[in-house]
Amino acid sequence: MSLDKDDIRAAVAGNILTEPQAASLMALADSRRGTRENMDGHDEPFELFRGFNEVFIVIGLVILYAGWMGLTGINTFLSENANLSTLIYGVISVVVTYFLTRYFTLKRRMVAPSIMLVVLMMLSGLQIGASLANLFGFDGASMVALAVSLSTLLLAAFYFVFRIPVTVFFIALGVFVGTGALVVQGGVNTPSFNDFFMLTNSGPYAYITIILGFIGLAIALSFDMSDPHRVTRRASSGFWLHVIAAPAIVNTVALTLFQSGSMVSQFILLAFLAAMAIFAIVIDRRSFLVAGIGYIVAIAIAVLDGNAAIVILILGLGLVFLGAKWEGLRAGIMDALPAFRGKDKLPPWGLTETSL
């Protein structure tokens, strides 16, 4: 009989092991298997599937849901055809998805099917919300606001029961879309894509984006600091919040500065991206770096024109080097930084065998 990482995480959740003990145990197990040297324990936990059987089940779930939509006559989730029957079908979908999740998530501990079931729960919530909105006589932004809000609340309850990390990504996305729909319902003009990221455009959308981005970042950091060794699902939940918070913050500031076109703005943008890179290293999350890479490439093309290729080449080499030497660089930066509040709650740094 052998223990896997899910068993160790369950032991932490049951207060049998502490997080540092669990991290040390996982490091020891990896070392004994000969994988510790090739897979640094400091890496961000990220897993989409554990085998092709999970992909096979996901395909089955997609086909199952498509067949259900065809059988019940559901074509779109926010259509004017939503009525009492689609409301009932949506409730049935929620119930079926709940029991499927109990099996694939709680019993089988599968990753990819769990992610797919979160998506199906979200779609079922949208269907119920759209049906209710149509029955109440809502349309346009009002329908979107009600459908998205109800779906987001359903996902919050779903996360409370099953703790599937990717759920927080869709919850954050629902809050963002729902807030925008409420603003439109309040009489503000329907936004274009740039309105969500350009602080210089008229309307409150870009400010909503960056405010919600900072709120998401704060929650993500609270997840991270409650699990600095990244043993439990809280760390994975924090990862998914960083994935949506980083673009909301970086894109809003960077696109606003980049579109101004002045050399001063581009210099400030480079300084901002450098600050985000250091911040990403300090909190040990690479999402802020990924969100800013495209702007560096865009600046190189706009400013250097024909000579941009050499800058892009150097950037690529730098990213490869950073990925290979991330922990050593992070250890140097963290050691150089003075003590600050919460520093001891960040993921441990240094290249020791027991640090994860």
Whether residue 101 is found in the same domain as residue 148: yes
Domain with 78, as residue range(s), is 52-188
Task: Pick the more confident residue, 42 or 304.
Answer: 304
Structural domain ending residue among the three candidates 171, 188, 205: 188
Residue-level pLDDT at 354: 37
Lowest-pLDDT range, 41-45, 56-60, 129-133, 248-252?
A: 41-45
Whether residue 79 is found in the same domain as residue 4: no
* 34 CB-contact burial (10 Å; exposed 0-12 / middle 13-18 / buried 19+): exposed
Residue-level pLDDT at 9: 72
In a domain, 125, yes or no: yes
Whether residue 148 is found in the same domain as residue 81: yes
Whether residue 60 is found in the same domain as residue 146: yes
Structural domain count of the chain: 2
Residue-level pLDDT at 120: 94
Over residues 174-184, the mean pLDDT reads 91
Residue-level pLDDT at 41: 43
Whether residue 135 is found in the same domain as residue 81: yes
Residue-level pLDDT at 251: 84
Q: Give the pLDDT band (50/70/90) at residue 356.
A: very low
Residue-level pLDDT at 35: 41
Residue-level pLDDT at 111: 87
Task: Pick the more confident residue, 156 or 294.
Answer: 156
Whether residue 96 is found in the same domain as residue 149: yes
Q: Is the pLDDT of residue 352 over 70?
A: no
Whether residue 132 is found in the same domain as residue 64: yes
In a domain, 4, yes or no: yes
Cα gap 49→63, rounded to integer Å? 18
Task: Pick the more confident residue, 291 or 244.
Answer: 244
Whether residue 66 is found in the same domain as residue 6: no
Residue-wise pLDDT tens digits, 159-171: 999 999 999 999 9
> Strand, coil or helix: what is 28?
helix
In a domain, 170, yes or no: yes
Residue-level pLDDT at 40: 46
Phi, psi of 325 (to 5 degrees): -115, 25
Whether residue 56 is found in the same domain as residue 184: yes
Lowest-pLDDT range, 76-90, 206-220, 250-264, 315-329?
A: 76-90
Task: Pick the more confident residue, 188 or 329.
Answer: 329
Over residues 66-91, the mean pLDDT reads 75
Run of H or E residues at 237: helix 233-260
Whether residue 180 is found in the same domain as residue 66: yes
Task: Pick the more confident residue, 139 or 126.
Answer: 126
Residue-wise pLDDT tens digits, 192-207: 777 887 887 877 888 9
Whether residue 28 is found in the same domain as residue 63: no
> Strand, coil or helix: what is 307?
helix
Phi, psi of 241 (to 5 degrees): -70, -40
Q: Give the pLDDT band (50/70/90) at residue 323.
A: confident
Lowest-pLDDT range, 85-89, 115-119, 186-190?
A: 186-190
In a domain, 31, yes or no: yes
Cα gap 36→186, rounded to integer Å? 55
Q: Give the pLDDT band (50/70/90) at residue 31.
A: low
Q: Say if residues 87 and 147 touch (Cβ distance below 8 Å).
A: no
Q: Is the pLDDT of residue 292 over 70?
A: yes
In a domain, 11, yes or no: yes
Residue-level pLDDT at 37: 41
Q: Is the pLDDT of residue 317 over 70?
A: yes
pLDDT averaged over every residue in the chain: 81
In a domain, 222, yes or no: no
Those residues with Cβ within 8 angstroms of residue 344's Cβ, 6 or more apart along the chain or in another chain: none
In a domain, 241, yes or no: no
> Strand, coil or helix: what is 160?
helix
Structural domain ending residue among the three candidates 188, 223, 252: 188
Whether residue 158 is found in the same domain as residue 99: yes
Cα gap 5→101, rounded to integer Å? 20
Residue-level pLDDT at 353: 38
Structural domain ending residue among the three candidates 163, 188, 213: 188
Over residues 56-78, the mean pLDDT reads 81
Task: Pick the more confident residue, 227 or 14.
Answer: 227
In a domain, 14, yes or no: yes
Residue whose entry in the numeric block shows the structure tokens 């199952």:
64
pTM of this structure: 0.81
Q: Is the pLDDT of residue 178 over 60?
A: yes
